[in-house]
Structure 1
């Protein structure tokens, strides 16, 4: 039985329950201080574009993208997204760290487009959902129920066919089991089925167009930074069969996931585990940077 404090077991939430949930979401950190201020410094080396804004609070939250400079029409595009789930900190900070640390070495080789924080409202409240209790990472379809997802799809639309690689940066945290999954079951009027949290880094490949060598190149780079999640006793990670070391597969587009929003040949979703006793926040950020760089390096070798 789900004992989540909002809603009636067996009944999906209505407007009242969603409003009650939203009223409990308190701002815990500043998107302006932790993300926008960093982007301001990066503007010396990258072209910065505001592609929308969220107006769920009195203070609007701008949605920001950064482009490699100069952008060259004849080069392939690599897309890096973070913070689709706002509570997954290293997705945001890892994307920003990549821009500051590694991105410039790809100048003239590929066009790099980075959207470091897709869901700033959720980032500030350290939550998975947006202000309307909608998961942006199940909302990459038309018409999208999430403003965050809709805005990102509009941004990408003009270059969608040029994107050769998309890496979407995520975390799997202990709160997935203690907060998110119980809340999801309550919201949807479904029974809560307890699960487990994998200890370590893993990737989600596209089951519709798997690229095992691409995934393993990323795993090989990341395991120099942090440990890779093992399969559980059923040979699975989060209920999905492990198809290679640290790799599972989802039908990305079918599920409305961010990593499935383009026609890119090379797609992946990263998952780090920041609550592991064997990992620090710095390691988690570094793992995301290592994953991005390894992904781009692999693509460059294929297109050389």
Structure 2
């Protein structure tokens, strides 16, 4: 584990240093959140146009499913329906591909990359695989550009039994209902400068601990599963993405965000133990993308295309290698 600095790091404006938040501090945090973009316009409307329009070719073999309604009315907020794209012609003998985006709502290319894959590439694979795509698991966080849900819970640490996060619980329940076995799971994320300027300090304040600063890596990387690393699979994805955008280098300690580099652009986490989205199935092939949208060397469109390239390369790998 790389050494991290806790010196001269920002003090979060909510709470008391060293004391974990209680209900008041969480309410204070929620009160300062503002809606900054529109889930209906940026996510629901494109999905509707792609899958409910009679003239859309995608509608013949993929369907839009409302799998839950997230009710934030007790917090004085709105209700949000959440959607999945599902293969109509589901065949038990085909590999099942799960794509998740927007677990962290502020990680924009995770959502937009999933939508771009649906619009541009899904047609290439509809006869070869079963597909489940959940493009925006955390819609309130998407609108407010947040890592947490309104209860100050990180959904990407809550993919566990009896999950405290409605977003995670709804996604897990739907996937268990739809797919007995998942072959491939790609979870789309970003690592941003706000991880150090906002979300890291907020987490430290919430938990009553010191903020641990990590350098943000400039470039794309993957997070494999330490219990099932599949290094050849990860390498194939990096090889595809490097045609689209640059790959993050390790820091001076040989790490990315404090984790030892396993190979170019790849680190590993214990996904199930940490309650990560990537650990919610027993898929043979699992990875989490991490795009760096704040890089001077990458555009928003490159970030979206990097997400799409990962999904395509992953499906291609599964179709070539099967369950080997």
**TM-score bracket for the superposition, by shorter chain length:** over 0.9
2:71 equivalent to 1:55: yes
Counterpart residue number, 1:267 = 286
Secondary structure in structure 2 of the residue aligned to 1:254: coil
State yes or no: 1:132 paired with 2:151.
yes
Say whether 1:14 aligns with 2:33.
Answer: no
Q: Distance in 2 between matches of 1:254 and 1:7?
A: 29
Cα distance in 2 for residues equivalent to 1:303 and 1:207: 21
Q: Which blocks of at least 5 consecutive residues in structure 1 are unaligned?
A: none
Q: 2:193 is matched with which residue?
A: 174
2:258 matched residue in structure 1: 239
Over aligned residues, Cα RMSD in angstroms? 1.2
Question: Relative to structure 2, which stretch is displaced further, 85-94 or 102-111?
Answer: 102-111
Contact 1:78–1:165 under 8 Å retained in 2? yes
1:27 equivalent to 2:35? Answer yes
Task: Name structure 2 gaps, 5 residues minimum.
Answer: 1-8
For the Cα contact (< 8 Å) 1:69–1:107, is it kept in 2?
Answer: no
Shift of 1:107: 1.5
- Using the alignment, how far apart are the partners of 1:239 and 1:60 within structure 2? 37
Using the alignment, how far apart are the partners of 1:59 and 1:24 within structure 2?
16
- Residues 42-69 of structure 1 show CA distances to partners (whole Å, capped at 9, x for unaligned) of 2142211111111214531101000123
- Looking at structure 2, the residues matched to 54 and 161 of structure 1 have their Cα atoms a distance apart, in angstroms, of 24
Please point out which of 3, 6, 9 is paired with 2:11. Answer: 3
Q: TM-score, normalised by structure 2?
A: 0.92
Q: Distance in 2 between matches of 1:266 and 1:31?
A: 30
How big is the shift at 1:159?
Answer: 4.3
Deviation at 1:144, TM superposition (A): 0.3
Once the two structures are superposed, what CA deviation does each residue of 1:148-195 show, in whole Å capped at 9, x if it has no partner? 000001001134542000000000000000000000000000011222
Instruction: Give, in angstroms, the shift of residue 108 of structure 1.
Output: 1.6
Deviation at 1:136, TM superposition (A): 0.2
Report the TM-score, using the length of structure 1 for normalisation: 0.98
Cα distance in 1, alignment partners of residues 206 and 322 from structure 2: 45
Alpha-carbon distance between aligned partners in 2 of 1:278 and 1:35, rounded to the nearest angstrom: 27
Alignment check: 8 A CA contact 2:217 2:248 kept: yes
2:246 equivalent in structure 1 = 227
Partner of 1:106: 125
Instruction: Tell me how many residue pairs correspond in the alignment.
Output: 304
Distance between the aligned counterparts of 2:228 and 2:178, measured in 1?
Answer: 20
Give the 3-state SS of the residue equivalent to 1:295 in structure 2: helix
Q: State yes or no: 1:146 paired with 2:165.
A: yes
